[in-house]
Chains A and B, each alone.
Chain A
Amino acid sequence: EVQLVESGGGLIQPGGSLRLSCVVSGLTVRNNYMTWVRQAPGKGLEWVSALYIGDVAFYAESVKGRFTISRHKFENTVYLQMSSLTAEDTAMYYCARLDSAGPGAFDTWGQGTMVTVSS
């Protein structure tokens, strides 16, 4: 069974930095397309970043230059390094896997970790 478990969220001041982790079991991160999707309180889903096989990264315009997606070289973990955070980054952050057939669909999701940006 594939499981994605996020951690690292919390309360952070505007302008601060935070690193989210997604520990994956049941599949090998380096052989899969991994992503982060966020959801602001009471709002819809927003794709944030994707890491392709071969470590090619893609970002939404709203986070480009501030967020970095990566994977641990030896452990089955995906990271999202977030910097220059603003109130607009307040959201539940989900780690999700993209289906290998596409990769167009998010076929496996974690339960999310909450990030609150506030002074």
Chain B
Amino acid sequence: SYVLTQPPSVSVAPGQTARITCGGNTLGSKSVHWYQQKPGQAPVPVVYYDSDRPSGIPERFSGSKSGNTATLTISRVEAGDEADFYCQVWDSSSILSWVFGGGTRLTVL
């Protein structure tokens, strides 16, 4: 089955830039989506299809991809951005499935 790899944690000071990576074999040929999940809440999409931002998501959130690594970048980090972030792809290579990365806890120092 397809595997997405994320760092367990990322820490950043307020006002700085946070970068959360997501790696996977042949990720360059897949569309990557990102979700933010705050404690006790449902996930919220923050980036679709590698770099599109859903309506209502601040421009501080952006997505990119290079080769087999996707990156979620959060500029001018705020205390309220502290959450778990998950990358996700749709894998149609063998058995149709939707795959999530293990998640990254963003801590705002």
The A51-103 residues at the B interface (CB cut-off 8 A) are: 58, 60-61, 94, 98-99, 101-103
Contact B33 A105 (CB under 8 A): yes
Give the shortest distance, in Å, between B67 (CB) and chain A (any CB): 20
Give the shortest distance, in Å, between A69 (CB) and chain B (any CB): 13
Give the shortest distance, in Å, between A119 (CB) and chain B (any CB): 27
Q: Contact partner of A58 among B33, B44, B97, CB < 8 A? A: B97
Q: Which residues of A are interface residues toward B (Cβ below 8 A)?
A: 35, 37, 44-47, 50, 58, 60-61, 94, 98-99, 101-107, 109-112
Summarize B's interface: helix, strand, loop or mixed.
strand
Query: Which residue of B has the minimal Cβ distance to A35?
Result: B98
Contact A45 B86 (CB under 8 A): yes
Listed by A's residue number, 7 A-B pairs whose Cβ atoms lie within 8 Å are A58-B96, A58-B97, A104-B90, A105-B49, A105-B90, A106-B98, A109-B43
Q: Within 8 Å CB of A45, what residues of B? A: 35, 37, 43, 86, 88, 100, 103
Q: Within 8 Å CB of A110, what residues of B? A: 42
Contact A105 B48 (CB under 8 A): yes
In the complex with contacts A104-B90, A105-B48, A106-B33, A47-B42 CB distance below 8 A? no
The B50-93 residues at the A interface (CB cut-off 8 A) are: 54, 84, 86, 88-90
Contact B31 A102 (CB under 8 A): yes
Contact B48 A109 (CB under 8 A): no
